[in-house]
């Protein structure tokens, strides 16, 4: 058994003053059971817990650490910036430089605004889309997560085209009723929604590769279909690339699938591990944001100099030619490798991957393309696999509905080592 003594003590101490002992719910291991290892430090592809155990990490702080943990250039940039002061609440050169760079790497973002999290980015983009179109309804997809703003914590009502219902207490039904929730990868349902409400839908918001119902890439034609329907009805197409930005390709999913959204939301990698988000897009839409326009949006710490230094150091490194090919190759080797092992042991499994995101599904569905398929996987097998991997030093997301991430520090030896561990653990699952 793992020695988890310190983590167990910390988790029990944490329960006293922190709800559930954690500052973000999934960290509490409710889906898989057991005590979460408390992390003391991280380096390259590894995490180290409070009891000194090393793990190969495929969570990557839920996405930001595409270059691996404790990247020397990011660390140095943060130290240098901190020497000059932590926050000014006034414009800085670093904000201009990062805006120029993001716009160069993601050309659809002609203008952008920095915020402090992915949630702020999506919340602000939705407000902007509503203000710009003067329409109230928004359309999202079942199983996509866009942060925890009220309008976005909404699930589908009973019929496909009924009003949305809140997915958390604390959200008035009156707010949720403006959110329509459709099936991911089903363009017909979207077209029907627009036929029913041709003048009311301000925007579609979509994860262009879904990463919050495990990993589900778009089927051929889905993103193009969204683009077409938005053009036809004058709605704003928002790509939530908080997870996919600088992750599935240098220019994000919009570069990989060659579809240009009107607005893009970024987070995670853009902050290099610091709390940063951004939203941006077409100039004529972005100019509706205050102070150029009437749609209000603000932030005391937005564009924080230390966070911008970290983000710039990260983005300057991800520009390295060949990086995304290497990441994709490593991810493919890992995902296909695990599938081959599962096949040889007659464990039904399907894998999805896009760039350096991957998902393992314990299911006999050949290709998982939507939420209902994702939630019908064998969670018992997943939990068995999960705990076996953890015990043997591989840290996967502690829930079967989360994508995994590979970083630039996951070299071929680390991937092979992971496959050897997976072989041993899956043999146990098969028993």
Kindly state whether residue 143 participates in binding ligand PLP, applying the rule CB under 6 A.
no
Tokens in use for 375?
Answer: 């939630």
Q: Any catalytic annotation for residue 257?
A: no
Which one of 109, 156, 242, 429 is in contact with ligand PLP (CB under 6 A)?
A: 242
Which one of 108, 122, 304, 369 is in contact with ligand PLP (CB under 6 A)?
A: 122
| Burial class, 67, CB count within 10 angstroms (exposed 0-12 / middle 13-18 / buried 19+) | buried
**Nearer CB in complex with ligand PLP: 119/407:** 119
**Nearer CB in complex with ligand PLP: 122/186:** 122
Q: How far is the CB of 119 from ligand PLP (least distance, A)?
A: 3
Q: How far is the CB of 117 from ligand PLP (least distance, A)?
A: 4
Kindly state whether residue 126 participates in binding ligand PLP, applying the rule CB under 6 A.
no
**Nearer CB in complex with ligand PLP: 125/318:** 125
**Nearer CB in complex with ligand PLP: 24/346:** 24
**Residue at token pair 């979460």:** 36
Site residues for ligand PLP, window 45-64 (CB under 6 A)?
62
Which one of 36, 118, 273, 303 is in contact with ligand PLP (CB under 6 A)?
A: 118
Q: How far is the CB of 210 from ligand PLP (least distance, A)?
A: 8
The 10 Å CB-count burial string (b at 16+, else e) for 39-57 is beebebbbbbbbbebebbb
Sign of CA dihedral 95, 101, 104, 105: negative
**Nearer CB in complex with ligand PLP: 235/243:** 243
**Nearer CB in complex with ligand PLP: 108/381:** 108
| Of 254, 248, 276, 278, residue with least CA distance to 265 | 278
Kindly state whether residue 254 participates in binding ligand PLP, applying the rule CB under 6 A.
no
Q: How far is the CB of 112 from ligand PLP (least distance, A)?
A: 16
Interface region with ligand PLP, contact rule CB under 6 A, candidates 72-80, 142-150, 228-236, 386-394: 142-150
Which one of 243, 307, 315, 338 is in contact with ligand PLP (CB under 6 A)?
A: 243
Among 240, 257, 386, 401, the one annotated catalytic = 240
Q: Any catalytic annotation for residue 233?
A: no
Number of residues that bind ligand PLP (CB under 6 A): 16
Site residues for ligand PLP, window 259-318 (CB under 6 A)?
267, 277
Kindly list the strands in the beta sheet with 137-141, ordered across the sheet, starting from the edge strand earlier in the chain.
111-115, 277-281, 263-266, 236-240, 201-206, 137-141, 179-182
**Nearer CB in complex with ligand PLP: 59/425:** 59
Q: How far is the CB of 148 from ligand PLP (least distance, A)?
A: 7
Among 55, 58, 132, 145, the one annotated catalytic = 145
Which one of 46, 145, 222, 233 is in contact with ligand PLP (CB under 6 A)?
A: 145
Contact 22, 14 (CB under 8 A): yes
Q: How far is the CB of 272 from ligand PLP (least distance, A)?
A: 13
Position of minimal CB gap to ligand PLP: 118
Q: Which residues, 6+ apart, have CB-to-CB distance to 135 below 8 Å?
A: 199, 200, 201, 202, 235
**Nearer CB in complex with ligand PLP: 108/119:** 119
Among 268, 353, 386, 401, the one annotated catalytic = 268
Site residues for ligand PLP, window 391-430 (CB under 6 A)?
none
Q: Any catalytic annotation for residue 199?
A: no
Which positions touch ligand PLP (CB under 6 A)? 62, 117-119, 122, 145-147, 207, 211-212, 240, 242-243, 267, 277
- Give the residue numbers marked as catalytic: 145, 240, 268
């Amino acid at each position: 058994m793992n020695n988890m003594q310190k983590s167990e003590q910390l988790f029990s101490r944490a329960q006293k003053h922190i709800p559930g002992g954690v500052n973000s719910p999934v960290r509490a291991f409710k889906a898989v059971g057991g005590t979460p290892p408390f992390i003391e430090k991280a380096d390259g592809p590894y995490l180290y817990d409070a009891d000194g155990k090393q793990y190969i990490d495929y969570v990557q702080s839920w996405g930001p650490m595409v270059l691996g943990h404790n990247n020397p250039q990011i660390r140095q940039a943060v130290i240098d910036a901190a020497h000059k002061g932590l926050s000014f609440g006034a414009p800085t050169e670093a904000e201009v430089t990062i805006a120029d760079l993001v716009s160069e790497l993601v050309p659809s973002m002609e203008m952008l605004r920095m915020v402090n999290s992915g949630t702020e980015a999506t919340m602000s983009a939705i407000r902007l889309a509503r203000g710009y179109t003067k329409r109230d309804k928004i359309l999202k997809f079942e199983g996509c997560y866009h942060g925890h703003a009220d309008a976005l914590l909404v699930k589908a009502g009973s019929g496909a085209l009924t009003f949305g219902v809140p997915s958390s207490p604390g959200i008035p039904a009156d707010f949720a009723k403006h959110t329509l929730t459709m099936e991911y990868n089903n363009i017909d349902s979207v077209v029907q929604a627009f036929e029913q409400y041709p003048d009311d839908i301000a925007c579609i918001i979509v994860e262009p590769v879904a990463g919050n119902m495990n990993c589900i890439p778009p089927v051929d034609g889905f993103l193009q279909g969204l683009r077409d329907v938005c053009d036809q009805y004058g709605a704003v197409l928002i790509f939530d690339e908080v997870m996919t930005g600088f992750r599935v390709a240098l220019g994000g999913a919009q570069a990989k699938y060659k579809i240009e959204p009107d607005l893009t939301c970024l987070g995670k990698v853009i902050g290099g591990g610091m709390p940063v988000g951004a939203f941006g897009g077409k100039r004529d839409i972005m100019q509706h944001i205050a102070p150029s326009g009437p749609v209000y949006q603000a932030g005391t710490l937005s564009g924080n100099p230390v966070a911008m230094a970290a983000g710039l150091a990260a983005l300057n490194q991800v520009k390295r030619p060949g990086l995304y090919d290497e990441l994709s190759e490593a991810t493919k080797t890992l995902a296909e490798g695990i599938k081959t092992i599962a096949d040889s042991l007659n464990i039904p499994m399907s894998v999805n991957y896009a760039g350096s995101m991957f998902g393992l599904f314990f299911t006999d569905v050949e290709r998982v393309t939507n939420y209902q398929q994702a939630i019908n996987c064998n969670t018992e097998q997943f939990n068995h696999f999960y705990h076996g991997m953890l015990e043997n030093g591989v840290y996967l997301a502690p829930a079967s509905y989360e994508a995994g991430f590979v970083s630039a520090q996951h070299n071929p030896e680390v991937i092979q080592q992971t496959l050897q561990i997976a072989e041993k653990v899956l043999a146990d699952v098969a028993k």
